[in-house]
Amino acid sequence: MSVPEGSHVPEFRTIGITGIPLVQRGDDLAGQLVDAAAAQGTPFEDGDALIVTQRVVSKAEGRVLPLDDFEPSAFALDFATRFEKDPRQVEAVLRESKRIIRQVRGVLITETHHGFKCANAGIDASNVGGLDLVCLLPVDPDASCRGLRDAVRERTGAEVGVVMTDTFGRPWRHGHTNIAIGVAGLLPMRSYVGLPDMDGREMRVTTICVADELAAASELVMGKVDAIPAAIIRGYAFDRGEGSAAEIVRELELDLFP
Amino acid sequence: MSVPEGSHVPEFRTIGITGIPLVQRGDDLAGQLVDAAAAQGTPFEDGDALIVTQRVVSKAEGRVLPLDDFEPSAFALDFATRFEKDPRQVEAVLRESKRIIRQVRGVLITETHHGFKCANAGIDASNVGGLDLVCLLPVDPDASCRGLRDAVRERTGAEVGVVMTDTFGRPWRHGHTNIAIGVAGLLPMRSYVGLPDMDGREMRVTTICVADELAAASELVMGKVDAIPAAIIRGYAFDRGEGSAAEIVRELELDLFP
């Protein structure tokens, strides 16, 4: 692992994909991504990581739903009244969740059916093409990523890794960052378990979540208003394989902050 | 914020800085970074972000200490005995902490004197040039970053932003990622508060912790055995200003997971 002088300088590029039209239910998202990447002079290449936001995948997959689909329960009505929320939106959060982790003032931190822990079950009521709509997370983000990976291969011949991102808050730290909620064609973790460090001992930090780091890098080129919903990371030699974002989720029994 | 077709494609480069010698107490780290970046053909440029790992800064600042400096308390001795740890190392963790957040089996999650929440107060007993040494976090990482920023400017004329990173675990998610523990010359947060989204409403996610995303990106080019302890992020237009990593730390009273 040591890098002698004169050896290769590690470098990767993070490239926003521009010119993607507003995505609608049923759209061929992979086709739009392939066309847009080519149109801006950066067609997909073998070994690229394609990073795509949850929102365009959800839109293409029809996960944008009318708020009126969510008839509020008594619990949702009470919570919404006390904290001046839309009760239908609260109901949507509850239906997308299997567990409420914290309910403090108007904040609902829940565990989604996928196992992700985040505010409001990752539901977004803004910027989804109409004021009375909500955008839910994809039903199976890993499967969505596999679909994109396969479609990019079919159209371009390029074997890419895919990471689907969402922008989550964190305990302990202000601000949100992009993290991985879906993965295909790459291993989300890079393990250094058993590797000796420079003193010959095992290293302290042994597993890096590269999928989350790829997601974080991509955010820096993405617009916050859907103008740039995807990015290419080129030149980073991720570990290829059939990974999944489910591997990243810490099991409840191993969680020190349940 | 919308990006019409044919407009600028956002892109940045993440470049590892190779060829840095093993850093010792008192070394001129900024000089080493400037020389190494130039030697590999990527001298610092105005607007670069210099990302540097905590470990080389700690080494240069003399924060590598003999374990024997830490005479274990009764509490440290008891904990170490029960979980087969080095009692001197446990004592070092306690002295670097102002609060134990979780103590489960052999795991100590603490809040450091800086306010960072992490395992073992960020102390590293591996790979510090000797088996009976520990590497502590810098006393004031923001000040260390300001020092590096000033020294790079003096030597090269380039005005760079600086982020110091460490590799932390997270609640809820497996694997570690690089985050920011020190900042200079850039604002760690980018705020979208009050900005309308495409439907004209305020956006759900309003503050992005770009410092943590820069840190995460840098990890992807860094070696895990100190061979590449720094990186340049070039082409990302961070917000210049006198930011600090202290701004990222969530105050206890706002913390849902104390």
Taking alpha carbons only, the member of A251, A148, A253, A247 closest to residue A207 is A247
SS3 B206: coil
Residue B189: beta bridge partners? Answer: B209
Q: What is the pLDDT of residue B168?
A: 94
Q: Answer whether residue A79 shows pLDDT above 50.
A: yes
Q: Quote the tokens at residue A72.
A: 């509020």
- pTM of the full structure: 0.94
CA distance B86 to B91: 9
Q: What is the pLDDT of residue B187?
A: 98
Distances in whole angstroms, Cα of residue B188 to Cα of each of A1, B142, B182, B210, B238? 31, 11, 9, 6, 9
Print burial letters for B171-181: b (CB count within 10 Å at least 16), e (below 16): bbbbbbbbbbb
Count chain A–chain B contacts defined by CB atoms under 8 A: 269
Q: Taking CB atoms and an 8 Å limit, are A209 and B107 in contact across chains? A: no
Kindly identify which residue of chain B lies nearest to residue A120, measuring between CA atoms: B204
CB contact under 8 A, B224 and A195: yes
Query: Which residue shows structure tokens 């000796």?
Result: A196
CA dist A137 → A95, A97, A142, B197, B199 (Å): 12, 11, 12, 19, 19
- pLDDT at site A216: 98
Question: Does position A174 have pLDDT exceeding 90, yes or no?
Answer: yes
Mean pLDDT of the region A68-90: 95
**Out of A20-29, A42-51, A219-228, B138-147, which region has the weakest mean confidence (pLDDT)?**
A219-228
Query: DSSP 3-state assignment of A66?
Result: strand
A41: its two tokens? 């002079």
List the single residue in B with minimal CA-CA distance to A216.
Answer: B213
Mean pLDDT of all residues in chain A? 90
Q: Does residue B216 contact residue A217 with C-beta atoms inside 8 Å?
A: yes
Is the pLDDT confidence value at A139 over 90? yes
Quote the CA–CA distance of B46 and B49 in Å, as a whole number: 9
Give ipTM to 2 decimals. 0.94
Enumerate residues 6+ apart whose C-beta is below 8 A from A198. Answer: B22, B127, B225, B226
User: Which of B252 and A180 is assigned the larger pLDDT?
Assistant: A180
CA of B19 to nearest chain A CA: how many angstroms apart?
A: 5
Q: Chain A partners of B1 at a C-beta cutoff of 8 Å?
A: 223-225, 227
**If you measure CA to CA, which chain A residue comes closest to B198?**
A127
Contact B83, B106 (CB under 8 A): yes
The label of the residue with tokens 């409001």 reads A120
pLDDT (0 to 100) of residue B40: 97
A11 forms beta bridges with B15
Closest-CA distance, B198 to chain A, in angstroms, reads: 5
Domains in chain A (CATH in brackets) are 13-62+138-251 (3.30.1330.100), 65-134 (3.90.1660.10)
pLDDT tier, A3 (very low <50, low <70, confident <90, very high otherwise):
very low
For residues B9-30, b (16+ Cβ closer than 10 Å) or e, as one string? bbbbbbbbbbbbeebeeebebb
Own/partner long-range contacts of B225-228 (Cβ < 8 Å, ≥24 apart)? B225/A1, B225/A2, B225/A195, B225/A197, B225/A198, B225/A203, B225/B127, B226/A197, B226/A198, B226/B22, B226/B53, B226/B55, B226/B56, B226/B127, B227/A1, B227/A2, B227/A3, B227/B18, B228/A3, B228/A10, B228/B16, B228/B17, B228/B18, B228/B20
Choosing among A101, A137, A186, A213, which should be mutated to test the B contact, i.e. which has the most B CBs within 10 A? A213
Name the amino acid, one letter, at A63.
R
Q: Which of B189, B213, B228 sits opposite A178 (nearest CB)?
A: B213
As given in the structure block, the two tokens for residue A39 are 């149109």
Contact A250 B173 (CB under 8 A): yes
- Each residue's pLDDT, cut to its tens digit, for chain B (258 residues) gives 344 444 689 999 999 999 998 899 999 999 999 999 999 999 999 999 999 999 999 999 999 999 999 999 999 999 999 999 999 999 999 999 999 999 988 889 999 999 999 999 999 876 555 568 899 999 999 999 999 999 999 999 999 999 999 999 999 999 999 999 999 999 999 988 777 665 555 566 679 999 999 999 999 999 766 689 999 999 999 999 999 999 999 887 778 888
Q: How far apart are CA A213 and CA A178, in angstroms?
A: 8
Q: Which residues of B touch A10 (CB under 8 A)?
A: 15-16, 18, 221, 228
Contacts of B42 in chain A (CB under 8 A): 9
